[in-house]
Amino acid sequence: MSGTVISPTQMMRDLGVPDDVSWRVVSVPMTFPVENRPIIFAPVAKVTANSDEIPKLLTAVKNVALLHPNERILVHAVSYKLAGQIVEALKTAKMDRLVLSYTNAHERGPAFAKYRTYDNAILVAPSMTRGYDFPGDLARVVVVAKIPYPYLGDKQVSARLGVDNGQTWYNMQTVRTLVQMTGRGVRSAEDWCTTYILDAEFPRLLRRNESMFPRWWLDAVDYTYPVRQL
């Protein structure tokens, strides 16, 4: 399971722990310096399934790549469709670097292995929010192209939303995944990585669920980045 708890109460419910069972939370301070893990919020586009602002997002991803020409970049695309659009956009930029992605789970491991062998490769990943490690130079830049709301077309997600605390569960999944996304490139107190959140939907998620976000995570968010640079 994820090491990112977000809501202990909801986690206990998800595990089936009865309400009358005693448990407690033990918290320890974040030891990774905040300056090593900046999260830049650059709201270039509202990224939804039928958004007409996708071209703005694609331009921003290309510009992030141009800002970091010599570093490996991990792009969280959330879906295979958006991943394909980002890959095509990056290829039109004609940069002298390898752009990788995958179209199914079987291709994920080989794509990651190839990415590791090129110093300034870009990996556009629909599903690498956990289970993959990007320490050191494996990811000096992480891009969150879209806020990772669980897919409502999934029957399990839809069913889970319809039971008690369903909306809390849904929000917790989103927040947890976002925190995991931004942590892929900072794996120790000495490691460092710059993260860009490009989806303009982020403030709405934060406004409705600010109490779920870890304080150490919120401390790293920079809302003052000049978006025109992207």
Closest CA to 99 of 83, 119, 123: 123
Q: State residue 196's pLDDT score.
A: 98
> What digits encode the pLDDT tens for the residues 114-126?
999 999 999 999 9
Indicate the average pLDDT of the chain: 92
Average pLDDT score over residue span 70-92: 96
Closest CA to 43 of 206, 173, 201, 155: 201
The better pLDDT of the pair 27, 219 is held by 219
For residue 220, pLDDT beyond 90: yes
For residue 73, pLDDT beyond 90: yes
Q: State residue 2's pLDDT score.
A: 59
Closest CA to 71 of 6, 159, 157, 136: 136
Q: State residue 215's pLDDT score.
A: 94
Axis crossing angle, helix 166-183 with helix 202-209, rounded to the nearest 10: 120
Percentage of the chain surpassing pLDDT 70?
99
For residue 113, pLDDT beyond 70: yes
Contact 111, 101 (CB under 8 A): yes
For residue 5, pLDDT beyond 70: yes
For residue 65, pLDDT beyond 60: yes
Q: Which residues contact 108 (CB under 8 A, 6 or more apart)?
A: 102, 125, 127, 128
For residue 84, pLDDT beyond 90: yes
> What digits encode the pLDDT tens for the residues 188-214?
999 999 999 999 999 999 999 999 999
Q: What is the pTM of this model?
A: 0.92
Of 10-14, 133-137, 166-170, 219-223, the range with the lowest mean pLDDT is 10-14
